[in-house]
Structure 1
Amino acid sequence: MEKNNILTVKNLKKYFVTQQGIVKAVNGIDFSIKEGEIFGLVGESGSGKSTVAYTVVGLYKPTEGEITYYNQDIST
């Protein structure tokens, strides 16, 4: 039996406007987490891990993309 997706992230983008211009902190990532899976978000310092996490939990609004939790859109 196929397990359902708990969380799905499609084409997630998060940009910040700074005095130096636009910073593309996250630029179009996709992933999904199924029931029972263990998920880790790894990468180098400054690669956007915290920005992804903050966006998924709703602390940041995505610039673009879709985040669904149990098939409910939570990206707005």
Structure 2
Amino acid sequence: MSTSTTTSALLDVQNLRVHFPVRCGPFGGQKQHVRAVDGVSLRIQRGQTLGLVGESGCGKTTLGRALLRLIEPTGGEVAFDGQSLRALDRRALRQLRRRMQIVFQDPFGSLNPRMKVGRIVDEGLV
């Protein structure tokens, strides 16, 4: 990947993984992992908007939370505006999150029911 392409991306995600440990078996002794997010890579340029759509339980919310580091990824790399989120402390993360936004999948809690869909989409583009 060239330096100019990497630096021009507002959000650059490489091979992001979030695995949750679960215990199973008759006594909970066997430890396995649920792969909520496995190998996601994407690049969003400044001025672009990304809509992530999928069925219930496919990892949309987990991906969003991992991108903001509200949960710790199992692996991979996330850079926002050229800065790796892995290297940031709590205070720096809090400041950086002010520049990011996630609209969670619950439309009743996230979207104004009095607004038409076109206006809601327009709002994100302005």
TM-score by length of 2: 0.56
What are the residue-to-residue correspondences of 1:5-44 with 2, within 5 Å? 5-20=9-24, 21-44=32-55
Matched position secondary structure for 2:73: coil
Q: How far apart, CA to CA, are the structure 1 residues paired with 2:39 and 2:78?
A: 12
| Deviates most, 14-23 or 65-74 | 14-23
Q: How far apart, CA to CA, are the structure 2 residues paired with 1:75 and 1:28?
A: 17
Matched position secondary structure for 1:62: coil
Q: Residue in 1 aligned with 2:64?
A: 53
Output the aligned Cα RMSD: 1.7
Q: What are the ranges of 5 or more consecutive residues in structure 1 without an aligned counterpart? A: none
> Which gives a bigger RCO, structure 1 or 2 (Cα 8 Å, sep 6+)?
1
TM-score by length of 1: 0.89
Q: Percent identity?
A: 36
Q: How far apart, CA to CA, are the structure 2 residues paired with 1:58 and 1:5?
A: 18
* Matched-pair contact (CA < 8 Å) for 1:5–1:70: yes
Aligned residue pairs: how many? 75
Matched position secondary structure for 2:48: coil
Q: How far apart, CA to CA, are the structure 2 residues paired with 1:41 and 1:9?
A: 14
Q: Find runs of 4+ consecutive structure 1 residues off by over 4 angstroms.
A: none
- Judging by fraction of residues, say which structure has more strand: 1
- Judging by fraction of residues, say which structure has more helix: 2
Matched position secondary structure for 2:72: coil
Counterpart AA for 1:16: F
1:75 Cα offset (Å): 3.0
Largest Rg, 1 or 2: 2
